[in-house]
Structure 1
Amino acid sequence: MTNSYTKAAFGIVVTSPEADLLRRVIGAIELVGDVKIGPEALEAHFHGMGEDFAALFPRTPESPFDGLLDLFPDENFPALDFEIEFGEADANGRVALFFSGEQFGVETAAKLIQRCARSALPFGFEWASDCDRLRAGEFGGGYVVISATDTDYGHTSPLLDRAIARMIDEGADGYVLSKRDGEHGLSFWNNEDGFGRLARATVFSVAEAGSFDIPLADDHPEWMEMPAPLRI
């Protein structure tokens, strides 16, 4: 028998009202997970949660705490897979929190931070996966980057595959279509607006570049390989 783990440990600093909200959210999750708590007790508790909680986790006609269930991969098992330690508020009303766990709910933590710790955004954390036996495929890790409107997940497996691909093919990161302007320098094609900034450029695979109908321009557009990401 083997045991696999998803581990994470990181700190984040939030405002005092956000820390208070997180304490109430944790208490509500524990309450919902208690099978001994009846509907009347849940209703009574919900009325004391505050308007900020009700706005972030809206109730349904069936249950006042159904809004919490979206935090969890399995709505039938609403439980935090990590611990949150709360520090004391400093002179500026900021509170340091420490998240940690050995079966860490990465998605749940990301959603919780996005909703309840908006002053800290954008924010990200890393996680690791391992096993108590040395088995192939059991070790890796990843990261989460959280903004007010989006969450981006990354894993070491595709990063490793892409790094190997770069050793074989310099064009592994794709191609962009560029044209040169005497006044503004290089500009790059994107499928929505035409030529513009590199940050908005459409990245093409080898096959897509080969079949793309190159638009007419004052300077003949040329394909450029996307560089590998900069490394520290």
Structure 2
Amino acid sequence: MANNYLTSSFILEMTAEDAEMVRLAQRASEIVEDPCISDTGRDLAYADLGPRFAALFPPKDDDDFGSFLDLFDDPDFPTFDCSIVISEPDAEGQCKVSFSGNQFGVDQVANLIFAACKSALPCAFSWAHTCDALRPDEFGGGCVIITDAGIDFHSTTGIIGRVLGTGAGPSETPKPLFDPALVSIEQKRFSHTQWEILVCYNGQRIEQYGDKIELAGKEYRGHPREVWMAVAYREAIARDMASRLPVVEEAAITAHLNTH
């Protein structure tokens, strides 16, 4: 058995106002994760976050936290998967905010920085994917570039592909359309109630993800295959492994990302 880690640690400097928004986002994450909070309590907790939070993350789809949950690929797991520490403001009103973790939420942290930390832009951070066993293709990493224009993700796979022209990264040669038959979804079971899902496309590793494990009757079950197929599609397109499908076909696949 081997363990995989997605690690990152970095510090951003930003205004005290933006740092406060990060703190409020941490609190919001705790609120929406708490299964014991009633609907009324949830509404009151949202109001307690204040008008600046409400302006940045307004209610959506009959949910006060609807816009906030858009930060996360899976709204059932609204956590940033990292430790966030905020310093006291210095004489110029600037704060240092550190982000670190061993199973780092790259996407959601990048989304948070882009949405709430405009004073820190442009900025970037790097991440590493490692394994405590020396297995082939279990090591890599990447970086995220965040500017006012948006978020740009880069992986070592893509960088190597661009340099070698193998198609792993953006190149002049158009990629074939995404083919579900090329998706590999493998369960990595650690125990009866713990496992992760390794997703690959066309023989190339995408990522090993934590699964949402629930007891259904007498069996423990995770996300259905359709969810992992949607993840594979999203990542294969983002990493330039394949070209996008027509709109209707794409919508049929990616719809599962919106419900899990």
TM value normalised by structure 1 = 0.69
Report how far residue 159 of structure 1 moved: 1.4
Deviations 1:90-110 (CA, angstroms, capped at 9, x unpaired): 000000011000100101010
Please show how residues 69-148 of structure 1 align to structure 2 within 5 Å.
Answer: 69-148=69-148
1:143-193 Cα offsets, whole Å, 9 max, x none, are 100112311000111212333349xxxxx976xxxxxxxxxxxxxxxxxxx
The equivalent of 1:215 in structure 2 is none
Aligned length: 170
CA distance in 1, matches of 2:137, 2:171: 25
Q: Work out the CA distance in 2 between the residues paired with 1:165 and 1:19.
A: 41
Closer, same or farther: CA 82–137 of 1 in aligned 2, 3 Å: same
**Residue of structure 2 in register with 1:57 after alignment:** 57
The residue that corresponds to 1:30 in the other structure is: 30
Corresponding residue number in structure 2 for 1:8: 8
- 2:44 maps to which residue? 44
- Give the aligned residue type for 2:116: C
| CA–CA distance in structure 1, aligned partners of residues 122 and 107 of structure 2 | 16
TM-score norm. by structure 2 comes to 0.62
CA distance in 1, matches of 2:158, 2:112: 26
Q: Specify the code of the residue in structure 2 equivalent to 1:33.
A: E
Change (3 A) 1:173 1:78: closer
Query: How many Å separate the matches in 1 of 2:57 and 2:171?
Result: 40
Aligned with 2:149: secondary structure?
Answer: coil
What is the identity percentage for the equivalent residue pairs of Structure 1 and Structure 2? 38
Question: Deviations 1:47-92 (Å, cap 9, x if unpaired)?
Answer: 2222221121111353211221111111111112111111111000
Partner of 2:181: none
SS in 2 for 1:78: coil
Residues 137-216 of structure 1 aligned to structure 2 (within 5 Å):
137-165=137-165
User: Higher Cα Rg: structure 1 or 2?
Assistant: 1
